[in-house]
Amino acid sequence: MRYFFRKDQRLNKEADITPIFRSGRATFSFPIKCIYKLVPADPPDGPPCRVLIVSGKSYLKRAHKRNSAKRRMREAYRLNIHTIVPPAGHRLHMALLYVGRNVRPYAEIENSIKMILRDIASQMG
RNA sequence: AUAGUCAGCCGUUCUACCGUCCCGUGGAAUAGCGGGGAGGAAAGUCCGGGCAGCACAGGGCGCCAUGCUUCCUAACGGGAAGGCAUCCGCGAGGGUGCAUCAGCGCAACAGAGAACGACCGCCGCGCCCCCUGGGGCGCGGUAAGGGUGAAAAGGUGGGGUAAGAGCCCACCGGGCCCCACGGCGACGUGGGGUGCCGUGCGCCUCAUGGGCUGCAAGACCAUGUACACCCCGACUGGCGAAGCCAGCGCGUUGGCCCGGCGCGUCCCAUCGCUGUCGAUGGGAGCGGGGGGGGUAGGUCGCUAAAGGGCAUGGGCAACCAUGUUCCGUAGAUAAAUGGUAGGAUUGGGCCGAUGGCCCAAACAGAACCCGGCUUAUAGGCUGACUAUUUUU
RNA sequence: GGCGCGUUCGUAUAACGGUUAGUACUCAAGAUUUUCAUUCUUGCAAUAGGGGUUCGAUUCCCCUACGCGCUA
């Protein structure tokens, strides 16, 4: 099994991002909040999931702390996203929001990501 | 040895595996291979430049910034070396300030008075009263004494006087003028003259500099919309015409003025006595201004530059010149530079202590690029110097 | 990212560098009323933090923290 996470698996267009926050479903496991939405796969040969990783300035004031939180979330996502397979013809768009007031250790963040992914998988199944 | 001052530097490291951004190569491919990937402050955005767009003939006023001297620099409100005053420190050293004062303004409360200073006090003269020493009233002189205040009109002593006062004299402090010497200069040292003598802040004045906006600048492609809407537009005279000149009006350099520059077009209808002329109304076009609509995707700008190291020479130094050096070079854009495991290093704690175990790893993350300043920073290193104690 | 602005009692807001930082609402106590409300009287309560200039700083200057706006 290969774990990778490249640019095309990220959300970077406002047209994709706004619908998630407007009409997505939410789940939460401290310190991460997740908002996700199933969309039709168009074009159909893209990746199965695309993600937006956010650590906001209102929770972490210093830039290096925001960077660190983002990197740990991204690493945990990279190693665990293969556990989710969206239904055929659909793609999963999700936003991971860091809402802790300080940066937690990697093991804690990875555990949180696993619980969120399990929750999403059960709701889709 | 301890405590400290100044200047400069470093600011964890190695291996394995899994990843990520850029460049090159490669290819069907997002496979593979090779190379590179945060800082001394990347920060605050406080100064100065480069670069880009807009505006621009030039001048004056205003506004803003700076303000001892000489130098460095692309430039600076930065830096270096100095000068003077003042404060802190035993000291090595450190902090703050410095153009001008001709004129003008302010100095709450307190106090007689904050600048044309008489409340008390001291002294003189006139009048009155008791009566021969005082008291009261009036007119003057007086800044030596009092208390207030952040600040009270140079200080001490003597002469002088009705009482006093730089009113005069000696010494001291400061200012101004002249001369000599030293220094590029700020200034210093010495001599002479002059009785010139309260303080702080601000305005004013003088000199120098500054056009405005900032890479979300700006250029191109794609998508898409609205050739929509509102406001202003004016001509007159001279020369035979074209055109030129003068005046007038409008617009314009983002505070204002002068000045400069640009524009002031054409058609139709009606009326006026012929017309290529005039008036009124309408329309079009052009110019200028206002206000609005759409896109939020991509490419360029974009990273090698006032670069660093070393050597030699110049300079007290900041720095400059020459030579050499495959020493090195992030370029992302909902935004890469990371994660895990093990070891080393440093610091702290505990124990059965020349070892073992546990914990921790400063401040902090590029967003167009440079030069500074300021602020944050665990711990450590180097050099020069100071004070105290001990030894030789 | 760039540019600009602000921070005063619990809340909203004033201030020429100069009394004990003012005003309104709120809050507390008292008076009025059989009681409550209204009204009246009295009181509590603040210059974001740190330095500098000044005799004296909410005000002027510098640094730090926090908040807000504009900008493709």
Distance in Å from B389's C1' to A42's CA comes to 86
CA-based nearest residue to A106, from A63, A82, A74, A81: A74
Q: What is the pTM (predicted TM-score) of this model?
A: 0.79
Q: List, for residues A77-94, the tens digit of each pLDDT value.
A: 988 888 888 888 888 889
Nucleotides of C under 7 A from a protein CB: 66-67
Query: Interface pTM (ipTM) of the complex?
Result: 0.82
Q: List, for residues A106-119, the tens digit of each pLDDT value.
A: 888 999 999 999 99
Q: Is the CB of A64 under 7 A from strand C?
A: no
Residues 93-112 on chain A lying near strand C, CB distance under 7 A: none
Q: List, for residues A62-79, the tens digit of each pLDDT value.
A: 888 888 899 999 989 988
pLDDT score for A2: 57
Q: Which domains does chain A have, with CATH numbers?
A: 7-124 (3.30.230.10)
Distance in Å from B10's C1' to A93's CA comes to 47
Query: Does A41 score more than 70 pLDDT?
Result: yes
